[in-house]
């Protein structure tokens, strides 16, 4: 095992790490979980220390499982949930829990950013994206507006994976794909936007150094190397935000190949050789983890998260059956969903449990079942929930097509790809075949590949993806189901538009 590369993905529900060899073969993987805090409706926070302890624990597990010697590991790549804000003081201590990507408290700050920038059109010109509640810049302004004593102590603001990088290397660093989601990066120029920082009256020194994704950003300190069983000085590359990293892990590094990732959130992701922007700002335009390339993506905040919510809050019967059968509870849920017909006999679920980003940019949107009758049972409810999450993904797919970006192949990943039922449902709703690939480890796999490139073992990201990634399964649409979903999909959009005003009113009642 002369050449081994580690990938660490600091996710929302847990950190996943894996080790691969120079051929892309996975040698070992490990996961450690941690909680999320919801202090108020619409708020979402985590303790950065949990990410660090999980990262160390999973690295140690990799070393043990793969029987690695310290010298075997040639590089480390980092990925993580995007947009989260870690506030450090001058002694590098965390000042408060991090505000996460799905936190919705910053509506007023988004309006403030747009106003200070000189309007939405000017903001799009500066950073290629509108101000959305999940992004990092509004969180910084929220801290300044609502916790000024804490803000006055802030020395650095780091993203989740970059906090782990700091603990590994002692370096304040990020990279262009994750930095794109702060709303403070000149996406076209791939550097921090000094003009916007000035308009927002934010000190540029609050932000870390920004690298390309495969560039070496630091190396393991002696103390950390000793703790985790690796060699001091092991290089750590820039890595990527979870979506760009997952795209690399799925081989989405050329035009026409699209990924649809159904995790806690849902993301539809398209590679772009140039900077493509949606004039209405419904899609995000970010730097890709491929040097000199970009991507557009739509983000659904509660895709697989809607099914997770159902399992946790309403799925006692299904979970107890799963325990008796000693299977994953999601297998029971999807088996129940399969008992209902396509379209769920007129039952719709709006998956806006934590507001929505694409295409509505509406923090007040709420989840809802609509169309319930006495005929509907648990099977209809679960199936309609899965259909609603997939309709929301299709919203993004249609916007990407509207930009003139070809959709020649859709590669699916995440929990929605591991389920044969949900894979088929996606093919039926998208109206075209979906494929899975040989590696299903997502962002952690992608940043391990970036580590192999950054340490000189491959010339480029497209080269290594071409070498190690291939499609292995294909699900084609079923004619009758696809025809039903063609009828249902427009109504899904109509329901949101009908309820938008009511959602805004409901949000004031919490």
User: Do the domain assignments include residue 140?
Assistant: yes
* pLDDT band at residue 30 using 50, 70 and 90 as cut-offs: very high
pLDDT of residue 441: 80
Give how many domains the chain has, as a whole number. Answer: 2
**369 with 499, same domain?**
yes
pLDDT of residue 185: 98
**91 with 209, same domain?**
yes
User: Does the pLDDT at position 322 exceed 90?
Assistant: no
pLDDT tens string 133-163: 999 999 999 999 999 999 999 999 999 999 9
Portion of the chain with pLDDT greater than 70, in percent: 100
**113 with 244, same domain?**
yes
How is residue 203 written in tokens? 């000190």
2-18 burial, b at 16+ Cβ within 10 Å, e below that, comes to eebbbbbbbbbbbbbbb
**238 with 323, same domain?**
no
pLDDT tens string 171-215: 999 999 999 999 999 999 999 999 999 999 999 999 999 999 999
457-464's contacts with Cβ under 8 Å and 24+ in sequence apart are 457/3, 457/5, 457/22, 457/74, 460/290, 460/291, 461/213, 461/214, 461/248, 461/253, 461/289, 461/290, 461/291, 462/253, 462/254, 462/290, 464/24
What's the pTM? 0.88
pLDDT of residue 1: 56
* Residue of 29, 171, 201 whose CA lies nearest to 109: 201
pLDDT of residue 440: 76
User: Do the domain assignments include residue 482?
Assistant: yes
242 is catalytic: yes
- Alpha-carbon torsion (412, 362, 182, 297), positive or negative: positive
pLDDT tens string 57-92: 999 999 999 999 999 999 999 999 999 999 999 999
User: Do the domain assignments include residue 448?
Assistant: no
Annotated ligand binding at 82? The verdict is yes
User: Do the domain assignments include residue 266?
Assistant: no
pLDDT tens string 99-131: 999 898 999 999 999 999 999 999 999 999 999
Query: What value does the mean pLDDT take over residues 276-292?
Result: 93
Query: What value does the mean pLDDT take over residues 319-347?
Result: 93
**81 with 180, same domain?**
yes
pLDDT of residue 415: 86
How is residue 381 written in tokens? 């409810």
- Annotate 357-422 with three-state secondary structure: CCCCCECCCCCEEECCCCCCCHHHHHHHHHHHHHHHHHHHHHHHHHCCCCCCEEEEEEHHHHCHHH
pLDDT tens string 425-468: 999 999 999 999 987 788 999 999 999 999 999 999 999 999 99
**10 with 121, same domain?**
yes
pLDDT of residue 501: 96
**157 with 11, same domain?**
yes
Hey, is 471 helix, strand or coil?
strand
pLDDT of residue 190: 98
Q: What distance in Å separates the CA atoms of residue 266 and residue 414, rounded to the nearest whole number? A: 9
User: Do the domain assignments include residue 465?
Assistant: no
**216 with 327, same domain?**
no
pLDDT of residue 152: 98
Query: Which of 250, 284, 312 is at the close of a domain?
Result: 250
Q: Write the CB contacts of 154 (distance below 8 Å, at least 6 apart in sequence).
A: 87, 88, 89, 95, 143, 206
User: Does the pLDDT at position 219 exceed 60?
Assistant: yes
Q: What distance in Å separates the CA atoms of residue 428 and residue 479, rounded to the nearest whole number? A: 8
User: Does the pLDDT at position 337 exceed 90?
Assistant: yes
Query: What value does the mean pLDDT take over residues 224-228?
Result: 97
User: Do the domain assignments include residue 60?
Assistant: yes
**318 with 396, same domain?**
yes
**245 with 316, same domain?**
no
User: Do the domain assignments include residue 467?
Assistant: no
Query: What value does the mean pLDDT take over residues 344-366?
Result: 94
Q: What is the CATH number of the domain that holds 184?
A: 3.30.420.40
**182 with 319, same domain?**
no
Residue 399, domain extent: 304-436+478-507
**220 with 348, same domain?**
no
Query: What value does the mean pLDDT take over residues 11-36?
Result: 95
pLDDT of residue 474: 95
Q: What distance in Å separates the CA atoms of residue 182 and residue 294, rounded to the nearest whole number? A: 16
User: Do the domain assignments include residue 392?
Assistant: yes
Q: In residues, how long is the chain?
A: 510
User: Does the pLDDT at position 389 exceed 70?
Assistant: yes
Query: What value does the mean pLDDT take over residues 397-415?
Result: 93
Catalytic residue among 50, 162, 242, 278: 242
Annotated ligand binding at 360? The verdict is no
């Amino acid at each position: 095992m002369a050449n081994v590369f580690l990938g660490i993905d600091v996710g929302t529900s847990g950190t996943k790490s894996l080790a691969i060899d120079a051929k892309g073969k996975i040698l070992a993987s490990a996961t450690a979980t941690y909680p999320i805090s919801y202090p108020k409706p619409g708020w979402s926070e985590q303790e950065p220390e949990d990410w660090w302890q999980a990262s160390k624990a999973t690295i140690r597990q990799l070393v043990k499982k793969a029987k690695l010697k310290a010298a075997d590991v040639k590089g480390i790549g980092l990925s993580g949930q995007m947009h989260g804000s870690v506030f450090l003081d001058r002694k590098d201590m965390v000042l408060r829990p991090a505000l996460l990507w799905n936190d919705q408290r910053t509506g007023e700050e988004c309006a403030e950013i747009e106003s200070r920038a000189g309007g939405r059109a000017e903001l799009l010109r500066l950073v290629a994206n509108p101000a959305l509640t999940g992004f990092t810049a509004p969180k910084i302004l929220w801290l300044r507006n609502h916790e000024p004593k804490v803000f006055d102590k802030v020395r650095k603001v780091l993203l989740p994976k970059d906090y782990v990088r700091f603990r590994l290397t002692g370096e304040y660093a990020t990279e262009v794909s994750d930095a794109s989601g702060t709303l403070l990066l000149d996406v076209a120029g791939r550097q921090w936007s000094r003009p916007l920082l000035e308009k927002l009256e934010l000190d540029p020194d609050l932000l870390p150094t920004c690298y390309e994704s495969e560039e070496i950003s630091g190396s393991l300190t002696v103390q950390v190397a000793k703790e985790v069983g690796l060699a001091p000085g092991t290089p750590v590359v820039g890595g990527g935000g979870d979506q760009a990293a997952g795209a690399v892990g799925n081989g989405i590094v050329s035009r026409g190949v699209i990924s649809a990732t159904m995790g806690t959130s849902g993301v539809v992701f398209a590679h772009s050789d140039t900077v493509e922007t949606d004039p209405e700002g419904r899609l995000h335009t970010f730097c890709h983890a491929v040097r000199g390339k970009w991507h557009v993506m739509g983000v659904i905040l509660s895709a697989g998260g809607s099914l997770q919510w159902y399992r946790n809050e309403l799925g006692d019967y299904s979970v107890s059956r799963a325990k008796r059968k000693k299977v994953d509870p999601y297998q029971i849920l999807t088996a129940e969903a399969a008992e209902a017909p396509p379209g769920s006999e007129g039952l719709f679920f709006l998956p806006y449990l934590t507001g929505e980003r694409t295409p509505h940019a509406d923090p007040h949107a709420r989840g809802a079942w609509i169309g319930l009758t006495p005929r509907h049972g648990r099977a209809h409810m679960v199936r309609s929930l899965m259909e609603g999450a997939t309709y929301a993904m299709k919203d993004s797919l249609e916007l990407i097509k509207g930009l003139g970006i070809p959709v020649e192949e859709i590669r699916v990943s995440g929990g929605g790809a591991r389920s044969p039922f949900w894979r088929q449902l996606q093919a039926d709703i998208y109206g075209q075949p979906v494929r899975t690939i040989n590696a299903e480890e997502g962002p952690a796999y992608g940043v391990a590949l970036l580590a192999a490139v950054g340490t000189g073992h491959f010339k480029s990201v497209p080269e290594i993806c071409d070498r190690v990634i291939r499609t292995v399964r294909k699900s084609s649409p079923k004619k009758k189901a696809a025809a039903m979903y063609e009828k249902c999909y427009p109504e899904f959009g109509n329901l949101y538009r009908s309820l938008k005003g009511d959602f805004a009113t409901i949000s004031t009642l919490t």
